[in-house]
Structure formats: structure tokens, C-alpha cells
Amino acid sequence: MIKSKKNIVGLIGLGYVGLPLLLLINKKFNVFGFDIDQKKIETLKNNKSYISDILDSEIKRIDKNKIFNLKKELKQISNCKYLIFCLPTPLKKNIPDMSYIKNAFNLIFPYLRKNQTIVLESSVYPGATEEIFIKKINSKFKIGQNFFLTYSPERIDPGKNTSFKKLSYNKITKLISGYTKNCEKKIFNFYKKFFQNIYLCKSIKVAETSKIFENIFRAVNIGLVNEMKILTNKMNINIHDVVEAAGSKPFGFKKFVPGPGVGGHCIPIDPIFMKWIAKKYHHKTKFIDLGAKVNLEVTDWIIRKISSYIENKKTKCLILGITYKADINDVRESPSLRIMKALMKLNNCKVDYTDPFVDNIKINNKILKSVKVRNYNQYDLTILCTDHYKFNYKKILKESKKIIDTRGKFKDYRLDKIVHL
């Protein structure tokens, strides 16, 4: 396929959102990739991937002469017709931190030219896109006439877009929005080239809110099923059997699976964006607060349950998986990591971890390495925290002295050596 030389796309931020999008757009357009992390840039130039969903072979397709350090190659911004922001929006003392977007925008602003289109992909609170961009852009251009502002929230599901799970990124419905009708046309005509299904939102604020609402919905319902998990455990009923049975109803029920808590950038963080903006309207959130509370409490409950098997005896524990969900290398806000850290504080507990996606991790200024387990029998407790597909579950079941299952992977086994949490 011949790529468009005229319509160069500049992608700012090559992380968990930016890099998959770059690979998708790279199939049809010339793409310039920008980041300020020189380590990432060097990794890509060495044909290596730093994201578990993306294979090294996919990185080889990228033209390495078009991967730039943003601060060193600002002049390249003027060559781009589309500028896509894929930057982190963390919390800072429970306040949404838009500084990564603001700093990048301020950096590139002198190099903007007429007829460019900005696309913001980052998760933001309702109203943030207009607050960050409108005033400054209109000081130099006229939005909707000779410059275009749009918002299209990412919907990547890490670990589900991998080649082995056969879910293509471009098949996920793409939400789009624009500041004016002309802005809407620009983003629609651009993204329809890559995504099979496009949903045009009524406004930028609708698109911003829908992204946050999607993750609030998940957080609240995961909180509900996790509360049921604690209750049914006391009743000696397996929550996974309950969820499976309820899931047979063809209407009025959406299946959510319990676990050791929630993690990642979206589910623990996005609801707090809405809680923060709600305060400006003197509105007290209830479900949002309760969901967050329960999802933290379930991790504490699991830690107490595991600790009861240690108490006054020396115990050697193995943590299976430390990422926040299966089949990724991301440990941000991971409940699995929180469980591991809590056990490491116990005097009688020696803790190892094994994770096929995380070779090493720094905890308390110490580098811990993932162990290669020859026989699970060497551990008193084998604790399944993250159910990676690469684990040999038959071997784990056969060799382990006692398994603590927080993910329901062994839900069909009723054995004394398996503790279902």
C-alpha cells in the first residue's frame, strides 16, 4: 500500500496508547512518533518493544528515522497535518494532573501552522480539552476555519489486543468529537480510514464524559461483585459459580468477574476525575466513592486471609503474577503488587514472585527478579494473583502444597489444598 506523503501524522507520546495507535496509522500514513523519554526512543530504534501486547517484529515495520525526541526535533511538528496527543493524565494529591498535555502543547505551539488538526486521545475530566486548547489556539488561528480541534478517547484494552487473543484494535468502536462541525468532519474522515466503526459524539464534553463514565461503570460493578465475593466466602459459596450461573440470563445482567482488586491507569483513576469535577458543582458522589472503597477493601481482605496461613510459622510464599491484569507488563496500581508488598513486611514470610511479563521490579530500593520455578513444591503457599495465560496451571495444580486462588482459575476444583478467595 502506498502511504500518503502529504498527510503526515505526528503522534505525541509513545506509551500504552500512543505506540499501538502509531502502528495502526503507520499502515496507511507516514507517521512521526514523538516522545521525551530517550530510553523509549532508543528501544524502538533497536527494533524492540517495551509493551507486552506488541511484538518486536511489529516494531521493525516502523521507519526509525521518523521517531523523534520531541524537545530536540520541534521543527518536525510543522510538517504534520494531524497531531495526536497520547499523554498520561495521572492524579496528583487526588487532583487530575493535565501537566503532560499542557507542557507538550506549550512546547509545540510556536511550530503550529494553519490547517492542522489536533486530536486529544488522553482520558481527561469533562471540559478539559476546551480549557487546555481553545484560548491559546484562537490567539493564533480560528478554530473550525483554519485550525481544527478534536477529542477521541482511547479504548485500548491491554492484554486483549494481543495476537494470541485475536482481537483487533481497529474493530473497537472509535468515539470521536469536534469543537465545530468542520472539526467533526476532519476527525471523521481521518479515523474512518483505520477504524471499522465510528461513533460521533454530540460534543467534546460528551466524549470526555463517556470515557470517564465507562470506567466508573466498570469500577462500581467490580466493587459490587467483590463485595459479593467477601460475603459468599463467609457463606462457603464460590462466587465464580454464582457469577457464571447469573451470567446465563440473556437480559438485564452484565457479567463482571471478581478479583483481588482493581489496578491500571483507568479504573482506579478515572472515577476520581468525575469525583473531582463533581465538587465544583457541589455534588457528592456516592456510588463512585463506594466502588473505590470496596475495591481497596477486597485487597486488604485477601491480605488478611493469606496472612492467616502464615501467622507464627516460617512460610515460603510464591506470588504468581504481579501485573494489574493478565497478559500485560503493566504494574501501575496493581493489587497483586500491593499483596506482595504486604506479605514482604511479615516477619515469618519469605516472598518470591514469578511473572512472564515482568523480569524485575524495584521495591524498597531493592531490585527483585522474577524466579524460574522448577517445582512449586518448594513453596508453602502458591498465591495466584494475576492469571497470565503463560502459566502452566496443570503443573501448578500438581506440584503446589497449597494454592490461594484470587482469580477463580481453579474454581472447578474442590480440593483441600486450594483456597478460593
Q: Give the residue numbers marked as catalytic.
A: 266
Q: Count the Cβ atoms, other than its own, within 10 Å of residue 331.
A: 18
Task: List phi, psi (to 5°) of 12.
Answer: -100, 110
Nearest to 195 by CA among 164, 154, 229, 166: 154
Mapped onto helix, strand or coil, the DSSP state of residue 362 is strand
Q: What is the distance between the alpha carbons of residues 379 and 402, in angstroms, rounded to a whole number?
A: 8
Question: How many angstroms separate the CA atoms of 327 and 355, rounded?
Answer: 10
The one-character DSSP state at 380 is S
Q: Phi and psi of 305, rounded to 5°?
A: -65, -45
Nearest to 116 by CA among 137, 136, 131: 137
Report the alpha-carbon distance of residue 194 to residue 213 in Å, rounded. Answer: 25
Question: 78: which 3 cell numbers?
Answer: 510543522
Q: Which of 408, 404, 400 has its CA nearest to residue 418? A: 404
* Coil/strand/helix, residue 148: strand
Grid coordinates representing 181 are 462541525
How many CB atoms are located within 10 Å of the residue 136 CB? 14
62 vs 186: CA distance, rounded Å: 25
Cα pseudo-dihedral 404, 406, 407, 410, rounded to 10: 30
The pairs formed by 281-290 with CB atoms below 8 angstroms and a separation of 24 or more are 287/216, 287/220, 288/216, 288/219, 288/220, 290/220, 290/223
DSSP 220-278: HHHHHHHHHHHHHHHTT--HHHHHHHHTT-SSS-------S---SSSTTTHHHHHHHHH
